[in-house]
Structure 1
Amino acid sequence: MDIIPLIERIGEAPTAALFGLIAGVTFGVAAQRSRFCLRAATVEFARGMMQDKVAVWLLTFSTAVVWVQAAQLFGIIDVTEARMMAVPGSWSGAIIGGLLFGAGMVLARGCSGRLLVLAATGNLRSVVSGLIFAVVAQMSLTGWLAPVRDWIAGQWITSGGRNMNLLTTVHLPEQGGLVIGLVIALIALELSRRNNIGWSRLVFASGVGFAVALGWALTTALAHVAFDPVQIESLTFTGPSANTLMFVLDRGSVLEFDIGLVPGVVIGSFLAALINKELKFQGFEGPTPMRNAMIGAALMGFGGMLAGGCAIGAGVTGGSIFAGTAWLALFCMWVGGMSMDWMLGGRGHPATV
């Protein structure tokens, strides 16, 4: 893909934002149509069920792994210098942040990515929760909560000055990641068959995973030709939500992949809901759901920044490149989500809205 003419026409920073917009729209459409959500999957699993939400999550995750690992084998993607791999990872941050994020997404009735999708379709509960999530994420990045985050993250970090590559650590061959992805995909398809999930939903669930691979491919292509250093990255919503908030508040902010990503998700989700006549204003049912949503959003904002990513950023994007701390954070998100559902006595509805 020759992107040099595009860069010469609009510049490197706008190109990065455009690529974020493209990946975001792809994710928004696919996530809205597939009803993808880690929170829904963890609640379903916690209640002893292996139904459509678990199947959709597994299919999304496996699709991301298959696409990314295959692209690496063919030299299309190179994530060795990706932000997530090129710096030390935090084991302590992954554990505590993952647990907090998992508990928060159950209280807020949706992970951060799902809240963004729902907000675009008229869910006012998600708008409020999303704003709180973004503010707390920014506070955890550079504000009052940053010292606490830094202290927790610094308690236990990966050795060697980089994050751990799980495939390399366990001495698997280059094709090992692709094989793991295919095995998980087969499990997801079998669960989908047992739960009679339609092909349309399966295609869109795969589209969420493809959006992650697309983000990796686009930023890799830009990094190879850009004059200024470009971060190789893909979809995540903790940092981008905070950065997008600051972009609209600070006229000195610059365009980057993150700034295109969040609006892209909103546009894609809105268009998908509009076409399928699913736009609908929804609010809080009472003070308790509102309180839980606000607490949950705050926990996700801090937990996601501490864990190095949200349910998408660590759970799917980091998982697709087998970043060690991302897999640990994802595991802890499942544990945190299931534990919170048990603490609530399973009273929350397994749906994401």
Structure 2
Amino acid sequence: MEPADFQQLKSHVLWAAFAASAVFGFITQRTHFCTMGAISDVVNMGSWVRMRMWGMAVGVAMIGFQLMTWLGWIDPTQTIYAPGRIIWLSALVGGALFGFGMVLASGCGSKTLVRIGTGSLKALVVFFVMGFAAFATMRGILAVVRVRTVDQVAFDLPGGSAVPAALSAWAGGDASMLGLLMGLVVGGGLVLWALANAEFRASFNHWLAGAGIGLVIVAMWWISGHLGFVPEHPETLDPVYVATNSGRMEALTFTAPMAYALDWLIHFSDTSKLLTISVVSVAGVVVGAFVQALWERSFRWEGFRDTQDTALHIVGALCMGVGGVTAMGCTVGQGLSGLSTLSLTSMIAVAGIVLGALGGFRLQMWLLERG
């Protein structure tokens, strides 16, 4: 591949990622797709409708990822969710911190970006604080603490953290075929569970959220892992995934990308700071939500109610930034993208997020009773 062709491919990958993330933002705003909202509905109202939306999205993403793996379009070992070292304590503690923080901050990372697109100045503050905390946990003083504490507690799983690969290494057999079968059974089961509810089936928005969000995750895996894969870089001759921060194929996630987006904005004039899938995905979600808000005439400026509201959002943003990096993903990064790979680490992180969210709801109830 010639250097000019490589640059053109990079442009195509970035525009495709931007478009896919804009669709994500549009659908999320239209359907009120929200992991925190889904957990809250179950806990406070006994309603499982939004949780079924989330389950269907995971199921569709899982089937799509495993199908592309079986077809040979993508390499499942080339994701951040694949390494065989299971940092389970980081996933659990980080997930719990993230889940707790998203309740205090009125939504997870993706919801924060969506709310920015609909006019929330509160969400803009959350974005800056969360991005700062994420960067400090990736490369700053909190990174030292993370590496010397929770990251030390781990175990190795032969074959990798993805369940199909681990089972294949243990019992033999074709990992891609096993992954496809597990994807059809587990992912298909989630889809059927969602569709089994009459209230869920009755609304177009429920279908759009479940199928649409799941397909966006599949599209991002294809864009990064297939369209953006170059077997030989024109200069280094090494295989490369174009325009990624991790050097591996990436789908949607929103904790580290917020830090990367801030870094790109701060060092815009530095020619070594290049646009990546992570950065454009952050912008895409905001733009997609903004377009939908204008379309349905729901764009409204929103500010903090009082000092307590401000403090809770700042603390929540700090918890999400630290927790999201520690757990290697958020409700979308581990909850949708990670679970689509059938990663054991992602399952632990999601469990931590749910536990943290429950703790956040308890704190909110205590504050209401105290008030």
State the TM-score, normalized to the length of structure 2.
0.85
Q: Is the 8 A contact 1:109 1:293 kept in 2?
A: yes
Q: 1:46-65, aligned counterparts within 5 Å?
A: 46-47=43-44, 49-65=46-62
Work out the CA distance in 2 between the residues paired with 1:245 and 1:197: 41
Structure 2 counterpart of 1:208: 213
SS at match of 1:213: helix
Q: Render the CA deviation track for 1:237-289: whole Å, top value 9, x for unaligned.
A: 11111111101111231222112211111111111221221211111122212
Quote how far apart the aligned CAs of 1:71 are: 2.3
Q: Is the 8 A contact 2:324 2:330 kept in 1?
A: yes
Quote how far apart the aligned CAs of 1:19 are: 3.4
- 1:293 maps onto 2:299 in alignment: no
Q: Is the 8 A contact 2:55 2:210 kept in 1?
A: no
In the alignment, residue 306 of structure 1 is paired with which amino acid? Answer: T
Work out the CA distance in 1 between the residues paired with 2:153 and 2:45: 33
- 1:345 maps onto 2:351 in alignment: no
2:97 paired residue among 85, 97, 100: 100
Work out the CA distance in 1 between the residues paired with 2:10 and 2:142: 29
In the alignment, residue 288 of structure 1 is paired with which amino acid? Answer: Q
Work out the CA distance in 2 between the residues paired with 1:19 and 1:87: 31
Cα distance 1:204–1:323, how it changes in 2: closer, same or farther (>3 A)? same
- 1:186 maps onto 2:198 in alignment: no
Cα distance 1:202–1:242, how it changes in 2: closer, same or farther (>3 A)? same
- 1:43 maps onto 2:40 in alignment: yes
Cα distance 1:101–1:22, how it changes in 2: closer, same or farther (>3 A)? same
Cα distance 1:207–1:196, how it changes in 2: closer, same or farther (>3 A)? closer
Identity of aligned residues (%): 26
Q: Render the CA deviation track for 1:173-203: whole Å, top value 9, x for unaligned.
A: 3311221001011111223x23565113421
Q: 1:305-344, aligned counterparts within 5 Å?
A: 305-344=325-364
Quote how far apart the aligned CAs of 1:311 are: 0.8
2:300 paired residue among 280, 290, 297: 280
Cα distance 1:164–1:7, how it changes in 2: closer, same or farther (>3 A)? farther
- 1:14 maps onto 2:11 in alignment: yes
Cα distance 1:15–1:144, how it changes in 2: closer, same or farther (>3 A)? farther
Q: Is the 8 A contact 2:335 2:346 kept in 1?
A: yes
Cα distance 1:40–1:102, how it changes in 2: closer, same or farther (>3 A)? same
Computed over aligned residues only, the root mean square deviation of the Cα atoms, in angstroms, reads 2.4
Quote how far apart the aligned CAs of 1:157 are: 2.4
In the alignment, residue 223 of structure 1 is paired with which amino acid? Answer: F
Work out the CA distance in 1 between the residues paired with 2:202 and 2:37: 16
Cα distance 1:6–1:210, how it changes in 2: closer, same or farther (>3 A)? farther
Q: Is the 8 A contact 2:28 2:209 kept in 1?
A: yes
Structure 2 counterpart of 1:33: 30
Work out the CA distance in 2 between the residues paired with 1:200 and 1:6: 44
Structure 2 counterpart of 1:220: 225
Where in structure 1 are there 5+ consecutive unaligned residues? 349-353
SS at match of 2:365: coil
Cα distance 1:40–1:123, how it changes in 2: closer, same or farther (>3 A)? same
SS at match of 1:295: helix
Structure 1 counterpart of 2:78: 81
- 1:234 maps onto 2:251 in alignment: yes
Cα distance 1:199–1:97, how it changes in 2: closer, same or farther (>3 A)? same
Work out the CA distance in 1 between the residues paired with 2:229 and 2:309: 44
- 1:120 maps onto 2:117 in alignment: yes
Q: Is the 8 A contact 1:121 1:270 kept in 2?
A: yes
Cα distance 1:161–1:293, how it changes in 2: closer, same or farther (>3 A)? farther
In the alignment, residue 93 of structure 1 is paired with which amino acid? Answer: S
Q: 1:140-155, aligned counterparts within 5 Å?
A: 140-155=137-152
- 1:177 maps onto 2:177 in alignment: no
Q: Is the 8 A contact 1:99 1:335 kept in 2?
A: yes
Q: Is the 8 A contact 1:104 1:295 kept in 2?
A: yes
Structure 1 counterpart of 2:245: none
Q: Render the CA deviation track for 1:124-165: whole Å, top value 9, x for unaligned.
A: 111111111111001111112110121234222241587411
2:275 paired residue among 239, 252, 255: 255
In the alignment, residue 241 of structure 1 is paired with which amino acid? Answer: M
Cα distance 1:153–1:16, how it changes in 2: closer, same or farther (>3 A)? farther
Structure 2 counterpart of 1:244: 261
Matched positions, count: 344
SS at match of 2:152: coil
Q: Is the 8 A contact 2:86 2:154 kept in 1?
A: yes
Which of the two has higher C-alpha Rg? 2
SS at match of 1:310: coil
